[in-house]
Chain A
């Protein structure tokens, strides 16, 4: 799958998985921070949920939150990691 398509698909999956009913894929810029104010405003429970998403959709195992923090910065970093480590 091309990177652009993957980015769009990931955004849809994030919206669905985290039930972000007010958000569209178009409103999530590739470099918009996932966490904290000014970004998508996700929190620590969401980071655990995103680790589950990566596991279920892409077969990626992230051992713990410290590792997760480096991956879960924005859509760009997530897609980069998926492309390198996906098993699905």
Chain B
């Protein structure tokens, strides 16, 4: 009997809940219709705005690419020239130095080393050449291998000249 009573109570509450939900559904309907109709009304405007935004993205991409290309061209233009180092080495070669081979070594875009081979008339000529190179602001070090100084005349040498890193 008691169970029957509670089942009826639950039934009544469930019916009330159903009623509330029907009411909520009915109240929601105008908002739903309004929102839907507004969305449809603005659709063409939104599509045109989206198309313009997409076209604008393409224009911005073109400008970004151009900026990157300009930066690359600028950076390539600032890569140190080998000619300047070759001319400097030749200019610093004093009397008594005959250069027979030059190699310019580049590490990526910066010049790291210039290797100069040749023949020096005397030890003094060779050490003078090395000192002149070392005193040049373009170069930081010119190491003469000790064995190159063994002979006193017609010394075949190989100078490894370190280049001053560009600031």
> Does A pair with B?
no
Interface residues of A (CB under 8 A from B): none
Q: Interface of B with A (CB < 8 Å)?
A: none
